[in-house]
């Protein structure tokens, strides 16, 4: 199981299937929530996760594909695009310190 300390998180990727819609809103929301933390948030297709990603956030239905695209990255799957507890926990861990496990 991959894990990363919050101080080592510099880039979060919100991975999606089609590249439009709800995941773009989630990426925007994360950027706002993490403003001032030094963490960048980008939105990419699940099959094109960049090598410099520290954490990948994606819908649970895409988790298997994300693990194939980025097997060594911490993966945070979620069920709902806005207000999901997994994403809320990720933001809190980055702001307050701790370890993110996936």
The catalytic site residues sit at 16
User: How far is residue 46 CA from its own chain's centroid?
Assistant: 11
Contacts of 14 (CB under 8 A, 6+ apart): 23, 24, 26, 27, 30, 41, 42, 43, 44, 57, 58
Q: What are phi and psi of 99, to 5 degrees?
A: -120, 140
């Amino acid at each position: 199981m991959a894990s990363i300390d919050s101080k080592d998180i510099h880039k979060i990727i919100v991975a999606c299937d089609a590249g439009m819609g709800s995941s773009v809103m989630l990426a925007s929301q994360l950027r706002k929530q993490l403003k001032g933390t030094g963490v960048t948030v980008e939105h990419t297709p699940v099959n094109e996760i960049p090598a410099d990603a520290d954490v990948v956030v994606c819908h649970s239905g895409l988790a298997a594909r994300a693990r194939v695209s980025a097997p060594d990255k911490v993966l945070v799957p979620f069920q709902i695009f806005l207000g999901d507890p997994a994403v809320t926990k990720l933001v809190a861990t980055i702001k307050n310190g701790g370890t993110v496990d996936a």
